[in-house]
C-alpha cells in the first residue's frame, strides 16, 4: 500500500531539510505545501491571520502569512532568564503575546517570515529548542507541574527531560538551517554526524506522539489523554516505578465514525530504571505498526484498538526485555492546578497563577505580561507552565510573598479566591484567528461564556463544585474536551457540539448530548443539566460522580458515543423509531 502524501514528503526530505533553507533565505512570502509539512518538525506552523482572510481575498491580496513557533520545555520548566527572553521575543518579533499551551510549552504567534530564523536562534541561545515541538515525532513531554521540592517530583521532572532528549531528532537539518551550523544550545543532545535517526528511522513516526508523567493524587497533566502515560508509584517518598498506560488520544472528525477519542489503557508496571526502555519499546512498536496510509487513523490508539491491549502487551514485552508487573493501585483526585500560595516542602513557597486561556498579554485591563516580567526581573524565581495553561513561580522565600502579591495586584492579575471552582479549571483552545483548522471561536469567546456559566453556577449554588468545562474550536481536541464534565466543540461559526460526562479526574470520556448548540444557548442548555444535578445528587457527590451513577459512558467508549446523540443512541438500542436529531 502506498503511504500517505506526508510519508512521501518525509522520505524525500533528506532528513527534514527539503528546501526550507532556500525558501527561508528567498523573498518568497511563505513556504510551499511540502515545506510546510517539514516546517512542523522544526517547531512551527505556517498560518495566516484569518481575521483578514476574506477582506484580503476580496481585494485580490495574498494571505497575511504569519508563523506560530512552539517551544519544547519538558515538564514546563524554565528559568526566569529564559522567560525574560521569551517575553522580549514576543515583543520584538511576535504579536506581543505568549500563549502557554496545554502541553506545558509556549507558542509565539504572529511571527513574520523575516523574523523566523531570529526567533529560533534567540530561543536556542537561552537553551530552549523548538525541534520536534510539532511533527511526526515525540512532542513536548508533560510532567506533574506542581513545583513541590521532594524526591518524587524531582525524579519525575528528570525523567521528562530524559525522555525528551532520548526522542529528540538527531538530524543535523535544524542546526544547519536555523542555527547556521553552530550548536547554540548546550542543553540539547548532539546531532548525529550522519543524520541517522536511531529510534525514528528515515520516515519518522506515522503521526505525533505524546508522553505524560503524573504523580498521584494530582492528574494535573491529564495523563490518560496521552499516547503513553507514566503514573509514578512512590509508596515511601521515592519513585520505585511507573504504571504505564497506552493509547490515549483525542482527535476526531465530526460525523466520521472511524475517528474517536480514546483514553489510555493499563499496560503494565515497570521499575523506574526500565521506564525509558519501556518508552522506546512502545515508540518503536508504533513506528513499525502505526498506520501510514490514513493519517486519520494513524495514532497509537488505533494500534491498541485494532490489535487489542493483550497483543500490544506481548509486542512491547518482546522489545523491552525487562521484567514487568501488573498495574499497582493508585488514585487521582483532580486535573486541577494548585492555584494560590503553597508550601513546596523545603521551607519555600510556590505561587500558582491563573492565566486566562493561557494568554500572557497586557489586555482587557489585566497586565499579565508586565506582571510576570516584573516578577521575573526582580526576583529571578524559576517557573513552570502547567497543562491547564497556568503558571507557577517557585522557590519563593516566604518574606517575598507580600511583594509578589502586590505586583500581581498592581497589574490586576485576578485572585482566584473569588472564582467559582469551575472557572479555576475551565479552558479553551487557541482557535481563531491563528488556527487554520478552527471551525468556530474558542479562546476569544470563552471568558464571556464562562461569565454566563458562572452566573448559572452561582444561581444554583454550585459555585464551590468542581465541574470541568472545556471548549475547542474544532473536534481535534487541543483543550482536551472529551474527558471534561461539559465540553463545547466547534462545528461552524457560533455552533458547537455539546458533550457531557467526562470527569474532573480525567479518567472518563464524555458522550455527545447535542449535535449542535448555538453559542448564545449554551448557558441555558448547561443550566438544565446543572439543575437536574442540584436536585438529584446524593450525599454530596460531585457532578462527575453523579453522572457516573446515573449514566453509562466512558468505561468502554464506543465510536457512536462521539457522533450520535445520546437520545438517538438510546432510541436505537431500544429498537424504537429514531427521533429527529435536536438541531440537524
Ligand atoms: Fe493541537 C493541531 C494547537 C494540544 C490534538 N493543535 C493543532 C494546530 C497546530 C492546528 C493545525 O494543525 O494547523 C493548532 C495550532 C493553533 C494555533 O494557532 O496556535 C493546535 N494543540 C494546540 C495547542 C496550542 C492548544 C492550546 O490551547 O494550548 C496545544 C499545543 C500543545 C503543545 O505545546 O504541544 C495543543 N492538540 C493538543 C492536545 C492536548 C494534549 O496534547 O494534551 C490534543 C489532543 C490530544 C491528542 O493529541 O490526541 C491536540 N491538535 C490536535 C490534533 C488532532 C490529532 C489527532 O490525533 O487527530 C490536531 C490536528 C492534527 O494533528 O491533524 C491538532
Ligand atoms: Fe485549532 Fe481545533 Fe486545536 Fe482548537 S482544537 S487549536 S480549533 S486544531
Full DSSP string of 3-42: PPHHHHHHHTTTTTTTTHHHHHHS--SS--HHHHHHHHHT
Could you report the per-residue pLDDT of 422-458, keeping only the tens digit for each? 999 999 999 999 999 999 999 999 999 999 999 999 9
Q: Do domains 340-421 and 426-573 have the same CATH topology?
A: no
Which residues, listed in sequence order, are joined to residue 402 by a DSSP beta bridge?
A: none
Question: Is residue 192 packed enough to be buried (19+ CB in 10 Å), middle (13-18) or exposed (0-12)?
Answer: middle
CA–CA distance, 132 with 205 (Å, rounded to integer)? 12
Which sequence spans correspond to the domains of the chain?
340-421, 426-573
Q: Report the separation in Å between the CA atom of 439 and the middle of ligand 2, taken as the mean of its atom positions.
A: 8
Q: By CB neighbour count within 10 A (0-12 exposed, 13-18 middle, 19+ buried), where does 56 fall?
A: middle
| pLDDT band at residue 353 using 50, 70 and 90 as cut-offs | very high
Ligand 1 shell residues, CB under 6 Å: 45, 47, 68, 70, 101-103, 105, 107, 139-140, 208, 210, 225, 249-251, 299, 358, 389, 429-430, 434-437, 476-480
Among all bound ligands, the one having the nearest atom to the CA of 223 is 1
SS3 of residue 449 by DSSP: helix
- Taking only the tens place, the pLDDT of each residue in 100-109 is 999 999 999 9
How sure is the predictor about 582, in pLDDT bands with cuts at 50, 70 and 90?
very low
Alpha-carbon gap, residue 189 to 198, rounded angstroms: 13
All three cell numbers of 78, joined, read 524554565
Q: For ligand 2, what atom is nearest to the CA of residue 479?
A: 5
Mark whether 351 is an active-site residue.
Answer: no
CATH fourth-level superfamily of 426-573: Sulfite Reductase Hemoprotein, domain 1 (3.30.413.10)
What's the rounded Cα separation, in Å, for the pair 452 and 522?
Answer: 9
Of the listed ranges 162-176, 412-426, 467-481, 560-574, the least confidently predicted one is 560-574
| Active-site hit among 208, 299, 369, 514 | 208
- Please check the confidence at residue 377 and state whether its pLDDT lies above 50: yes
Q: Which CATH class is domain 340-421?
A: alpha beta
Nearest CA to ligand 1 atom 60: 476
- What is the number of helices (H) and of strands (E) in the chain? 19, 22
Give 529-553 pLDDT, tens digit per residue: 999 999 999 999 999 999 999 987 6
CB 435, CB 392: distance < 8 Å: no
CA dist list (Å): 290 to 24, 201, 267, 300, 478: 32, 14, 18, 6, 21
Q: What is the DSSP string of 485-520?
A: SEEEEEEETTEEEEEE---TTS-S--EEEEEEEEGG
Q: Is 193 exposed, middle or buried (0-12, 13-18, 19+ CB in 10 A)?
A: exposed
Dihedral pair phi/psi, residue 276, rounded to 5°: -60, -40
Helix (H, G, I), strand (E, B), or coil: what is residue 470? strand
Partnered with residue 232 across adjacent β-strands are: 242
Cα-to-centroid distance, 495 and ligand 2 (Å): 15
Give residue-wise pLDDT tens across range 462-506.
Answer: 999 999 999 999 999 999 999 999 999 999 999 999 999 999 999
Atom number in ligand 2 closest to CA 440 = 7
Question: Out of 72, 122, 139, 301, which one is annotated catalytic?
Answer: 139
Report residue 82: phi and psi, to 5°.
-65, -45
Q: How far is residue 311 from each of residues 15, 314, 439, 442, 488, measured CA to CA in Å?
A: 32, 5, 38, 39, 35
Going from the Cα of 472 to the center of ligand 2, the distance in angstroms, rounded, reads: 6
The residues that bridge with 265 in the sheet, in sequence order, are 246
- 59 CA to centre of ligand 1 in angstroms: 32
Nearest CA to 484 out of 401, 410, 571, 547 is that of 547
How far is ligand 1, taken at its centre, from the CA of residue 512, in Å?
Answer: 21
C-alpha 45/C-alpha 124 separation (Å) is 18
Atom of ligand 2 minimally distant from the CA of 481 = 5
What does the mean pLDDT of the chain come to? Answer: 95
For residue 71, is the peptide bond before it cis, meaning its omega torsion is within 30 degrees of 0?
A: no
- What is the rounded distance in angstroms from the CA atom of residue 264 to the CA atom of residue 301? 8
Cβ atoms of 326 and 269 within 8 Å: the answer is: yes
Tell me, yes or no, if 139 is annotated catalytic: yes
Atom of ligand 2 nearest to the CA of 432: 7
Report in angstroms the alpha-carbon separations of 44 from 109, 206, 379, 389: 10, 18, 32, 19
pLDDT at 556: 72
| 506 torsion bin: left (phi>0), alpha (psi -120 to 50), beta (else) | left
**Backbone φ/ψ region at 234: left (φ over 0), alpha (ψ -120 to 50), beta:** beta
Q: Which of 123-127, 253-257, 346-350, 532-536 has the lowest mean pLDDT?
A: 253-257
In which band, very low, low, confident or very high, does the pLDDT at 581 lie, cut at 50, 70 and 90? very low
Sheet order of strands, 211-214 included: 142-143, 211-214, 228-233, 241-246, 265-271
DSSP per-residue string spanning 305-358: HHH-HHHHHHHHHHHH-S--BPPPP----BS----EEEE-SSS-EEEEE--GGG
Amino acid at each position: 500500500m502506498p503511504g500517505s502524501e506526508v510519508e512521501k514528503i518525509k522520505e524525500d526530505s533528506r532528513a527534514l531539510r527539503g528546501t526550507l533553507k532556500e525558501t527561508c533565505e528567498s523573498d518568497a512570502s511563505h513556504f510551499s505545501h511540502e515545506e510546510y509539512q517539514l516546517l512542523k518538525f522544526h517547531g512551527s506552523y505556517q498560518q495566516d491571520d484569518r481575521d483578514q482572510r476574506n477582506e484580503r481575498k476580496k481585494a485580490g491580496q495574498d494571505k497575511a502569512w504569519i508563523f506560530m513557533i512552539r517551544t519544547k520545555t519538558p515538564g514546563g520548566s524554565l528559568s526566569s532568564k529564559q522567560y525574560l527572553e521569551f517575553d522580549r521575543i514576543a515583543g520584538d518579533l511576535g504579536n506581543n503575546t505568549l500563549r502557554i499551551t496545554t502541553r506545558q510549552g509556549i507558542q509565539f504567534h504572529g511571527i513574520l517570515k523575516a523574523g523566523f530564523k531570529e526567533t529560533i536562534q534567540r530561543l536556542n541561545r537561552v537553551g530552549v529548542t523548538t525541534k520536534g515541538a510539532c511533527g511526526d515525532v515525540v512532542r513536548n513531554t508533560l510532567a506533574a507541574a506542581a513545583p513541590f521540592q521532594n524526591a518524587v517530583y524531582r525524579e519525575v521532572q528528570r525523567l521528562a527531560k530524559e525522555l525528551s532528549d532520548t526522542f529528540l531528532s538527531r538530524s543535523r537539518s535544524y542546526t544547519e538551517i536555523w542555527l547556521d551550523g553552530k550548536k547554540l544550545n548546550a542543553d540539547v543532545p548532539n546531532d548525529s554526524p550522519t543524520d541517522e535517526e536511531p529510534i525514528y528511522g528515515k520516515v519518522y513516526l506515522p503521526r505525533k506522539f505524546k508522553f505524560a508523567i503524573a504523580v498521584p493524587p494530582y492528574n494535573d497533566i491529564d495523563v490518560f489523554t496521552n499516547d503513553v502515560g507514566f503514573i509514578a508509584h512512590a509508596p515511601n517518598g521515592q519513585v520505585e516505578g511507573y504504571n504505564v498506560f497506552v493509547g490515549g488520544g483525542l482527535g476526531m472528525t465530526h460525523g466520521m465514525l472511524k475517528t474517536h477519542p480514546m483514553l489510555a489503557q493499563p499496560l503494565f508496571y515497570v521499575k523506574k530504571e526500565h521506564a525509558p526502555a519501556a518508552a522506546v519499546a512502545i515508540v518503536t512498536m508504533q513506528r513499525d505498526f502505526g498506520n501510514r496510509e490514513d493519517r486519520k487513523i494513524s495514532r497509537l490508539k488505533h494500534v491498541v484498538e485494532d490489535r487489542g491491549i493483550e497483543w500490544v502487551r506481548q509486542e512491547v514485552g518482546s522489545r523491552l526485555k525487562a521484567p514487568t508487573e501488573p498495574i499497582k493501585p493508585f488514585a487521582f483526585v483532580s486535573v486541577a492546578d494548585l492555584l494560590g500560595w503553597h508550601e513546596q516542602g523545603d521551607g519555600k513557597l510556590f505561587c500558582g497563577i491563573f492565566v486566562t486561556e493561557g494568554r500572557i498579554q497586557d489586555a482587557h485591563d489585566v497586565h499579565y505580561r508586565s506582571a510576570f516580567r516584573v516578577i521575573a526581573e526582580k526576583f529571578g524565581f524559576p517557573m513552570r507552565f502547567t497543562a491547564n495553561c497556568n503558571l507557577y513561580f517557585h522557590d519563593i522565600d516566604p518574606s517575598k510573598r507580600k511583594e509578589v502579591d502586590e505586583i500581581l495586584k498592581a497589574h490586576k492579575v485576578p485572585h482566584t479566591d473569588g472564582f467559582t471552582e469551575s472557572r479555576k479549571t475551565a479552558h479553551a483552545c487557541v482557535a481563531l484567528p491563528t488556527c487554520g483548522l478552527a471551525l468556530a471561536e474558542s479562546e476569544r469567546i470563552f471568558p464571556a461564556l464562562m461569565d454566563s456559566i458562572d452566573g448559572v453556577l452561582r444561581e444554583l449554588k454550585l459555585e464551590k463544585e468542581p465541574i470541568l468545562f472545556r471548549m475547542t474550536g474544532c473536534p481535534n481536541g487541543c483543550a482536551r474536551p472529551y474527558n471534561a464534565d461539559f465540553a463545547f466543540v466547534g462545528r461552524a461559526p457560533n455552533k458547537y457540539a455539546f458533550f457531557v460526562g467526562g470527569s474532573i479526574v480525567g479518567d472518563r470520556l464524555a458522550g455527545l448530548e447535542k449535535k449542535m448548540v448555538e453559542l448564545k444557548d449554551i448557558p441555558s442548555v448547561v443550566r438544565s443539566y446543572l439543575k437536574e444535578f442540584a436536585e438529584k445528587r446524593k450525599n454530596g457527590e460531585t457532578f462527575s460522580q453523579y453522572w457516573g451513577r446515573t449514566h453509562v459512558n466512558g468505561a468502554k467508549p464506543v465510536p457512536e458515543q462521539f457522533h450520535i446523540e445520546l437520545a438517538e443512541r438510546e432510541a436505537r438500542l431500544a429498537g424504537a423509531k429514531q427521533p429527529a436529531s435536536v438541531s440537524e
